[in-house]
A and B are shown apart, each in its own frame.
Chain A
């Protein structure tokens, strides 16, 4: 299985090239006209029908596309979620039926039966059929496609057969005990059979909205699809605008240009909403993003488990949380996947112990060793965390250096391979997505027999209890000797009109489902 640099982007759930939030002079100081701090659980009241909702997300410039298999930036993903539907969605870290109502594995876990929802229609009124799903799976793996997906590694896509109008049999290449989770994690979207073009006039989806106008890197205008299988959406129209700079999104909301600014900087939360009728919203503890460093075990220094443990003991988690998140977050326990099903919340965060860290380094013969930490602000805060981590490692006597590069350059495979550690952030992806994609990238992978066994067990297990045990085992390996230093979990903040409701977090709060968005009466 091979991976492009975009897969890493995809893995991190972030845009290709959303560059470091410059930004200027957040809110003008006074927070008298805004609320004191971020509010949690806001915007859940029932919306009234009608209205145009304008939402700003980080975009992907001229590279944006309506093709759901070419979606990388938050704006692309948000648009895709309301235009198209997936077989399974991710809700609260677990799969939830969407276009598929069930995926039943065979006894040997070497195939599964996919049953589709009834009465789903495309935007031209034609019904959804099994052939559409078969086409979508084949499209995903077509020549020249670079969409990041683990599906081709698991599914025998050439032998997928439609058994009826709404059922398919999908043979697998290796045991798949929980196909729903696999499909949900892969964000498997369904496009109409025969689709070759995704231009605004031609594209067809099954989603709650259809496209009326689209301009890459600028804006998409979507109107309600009345016959949506989930019931018609509240808003008449959605306008999804691409604004790459975080502070520019804040400014746009404060100036009344948009009703919702996603993923705003922590400094904006400090200064307040900045205008009457606006509030800073916090996606909540369940939807935090993990921030950390992935240690490159292909480098001699990081191959030593004592060095890895020393780094984990040497990091000052609280200081990083207080500085990088301005306190809007909590220390992490070195595991990615917080918020996902089977995540090992019970494993505690290590206490800082510089004496033991120094002793371990001495034992490993790594006193004063030189190490390079590569970072690029593809998410704001990574560079800051790297600079601080470097200082903390210097206190351990290590000759640590930060290698700060531009966010697009960051993903250069050769550069990644040459660094000892990488600044990294991950949203609440399903665990198998995180572990499998990391494993496929040599510089990020952690090779360990026990871990690989646990991952294989988790994939093949058809029963809930087995899966939970396998995931527990996998995470214990990572906690014991793994290559992650996940120092913190950061809140995801947005700035919204107080009467805006129905912005629903599914996979990540950075690209929520906005099909139910509307204004309260």
Chain B
């Protein structure tokens, strides 16, 4: 196979995956719009709940909510493509309402991921290589227990220990108006730690399993029998097989942390999207709900796309021997 063939194939693959992701985003938009339309309440009732049927009907007509679903969907999607996320029930642009809080949530997820990546790799590989021994038992048991306790209990326990009892870190993530959480890094520590423990349990388990499988693979066995030093076996034999799995795990975990941090954000009063999400869903503020669903779903789909590509890039077999 020539290099040009390979380049062509890579481009075709990329284009294909991109098309699939684009299609999924479109599909997601349909699911979200139709799904939220089934919810009781809409921006008119959210804002004018008790005003009586006449006023609500009038507001519906004014907001264009009485038009057919397909028509409203079309308008919403074209708005999305222009970067217009719509207007909340309160009358504020959704983009403005979310931008800063989404940034804060991304920051939290990003920082968590920055620690999660080396942490889970280290623990997962260490345990996977020593399957069944003390290190493995300790890591596996620890992660299993961690995964078994609800995250808000874990977060509460951290508050009790580090904020209330020891007084080392703030219990509440107060961020001065007009400032980024990065200007008060101490408020980020406990939320990041809570999310880290949550993500670590899942990521480490999967990386450990992949490592254990790789360590049993014939070619690794072969390297070991040939007397290659453990370090080389790890670098040449085990890690190449583990990394694609790990990358996939990290990307999806990272994307999941953005929307999955709701409970942790609530515990620390962190100014992320969690609070907006809960309030919007419960008060029937559909434009905000739809925008959030698209954003969170979109990020996850992009993460899956990236995971897919990088898996192919990292896996020698798939890269060269694709049919």
Contacts and interface: CB of A to CB of B under 8 A. Distances in A.
The reply to whether A and B meet directly (CB within 8 Å) is yes
Interface stretch (B113-121, B157-165, B203-211, B216-224): B157-165
A502 interface: no
Contacts of B47: 4, 146
A348 B208 CA distance: 70
Nearest to A441: B50
Interface stretch (B11-19, B72-80, B265-273, B314-322): B265-273
B176 interface: yes
Interface in A203-230: 213-215, 217-221
Contacts of B175: 215, 218-219
A16 B283 contact: yes
Contacts of A17: 278-279, 282-283
A92 B67 CA distance: 52
A488 to B, nearest CB: 27
Given A248-B171, A251-B164, A257-B171, A213 B176 contact: yes
Given A16-B283, A17-B279, A22-B266, A215 B52 contact: no
Classify the secondary structure of B's interface with A.
helix
A251 B159 contact: yes
B71 interface: no
B308 to A, nearest CB: 35
A245 interface: yes
B79 to A, nearest CB: 20
A285 interface: no
Nearest to B152: A22
The listed residue with most B CB atoms (<10 A of its CB), out of A5, A19, A242, A274, is A5
Contacts of A258: 174
A289 B195 CA distance: 38
A443 B236 CA distance: 73
Given A5-B50, A251-B172, A213 B177 contact: yes
Nearest to A7: B50
B60 to A, nearest CB: 15
Interface residues of A, number: 51
Interface in B217-243: none
Contacts of A7: 50
Interface size class of B (residues with CB under 8 A): 35 or more
A352 to B, nearest CB: 35
A245 B177 contact: no
A363 to B, nearest CB: 35
A233 to B, nearest CB: 20
Given A16-B283, A251-B171, A257-B172, A413 B159 contact: no
A255 B163 contact: yes
A218 B177 CA distance: 7
Interface in A21-49: 22, 24-25, 27-28
B128 to A, nearest CB: 35
Interface stretch (A112-120, A161-169, A305-313, A404-412): A404-412
Given A24-B160, A412-B49, A217 B177 contact: no
A249 B49 CA distance: 31
Contacts of B312: none
A243 B172 contact: yes
Contacts of B160: 24-25, 28
Contact of A245 (B50, B165, B266): B266
A496 B97 CA distance: 33
A97 to B, nearest CB: 33
B66 interface: no
Given A22-B267, A255-B167, A61 B50 contact: no
A429 B116 CA distance: 52
B97 A62 contact: yes
B283 A408 contact: yes
B282 A409 contact: yes
B297 to A, nearest CB: 21
A252 interface: yes
A4 B51 contact: yes
B187 to A, nearest CB: 9
Contact of A248 (B49, B269, B283): B269
A349 interface: no
A5 B89 CA distance: 14
A361 to B, nearest CB: 32
B57 interface: no
B69 interface: no
Contacts of B268: 248
A254 interface: yes
Contacts of B165: 28
Contacts of B278: 17, 19
Nearest to A244: B269
Contact of A146 (B48, B167, B174, B267): B48
Given A62-B276, A219-B176, A248-B267, 10 more contacts: A7-B50, A25-B164, A28-B165, A61-B279, A144-B91, A213-B176, A218-B174, A245-B269, A252-B171, A409-B282
19 contacts: A2-B55, A5-B50, A22-B266, A24-B267, A25-B164, A28-B160, A61-B275, A62-B101, A63-B90, A217-B275, A218-B174, A219-B175, A244-B269, A244-B275, A245-B269, A248-B268, A252-B174, A254-B164, A408-B282
Interface of B: 41, 47-52, 55, 90-91, 97, 101, 152, 156-157, 159-160, 163-165, 167, 170-172, 174-178, 266-269, 271, 275-276, 278-279, 282-283
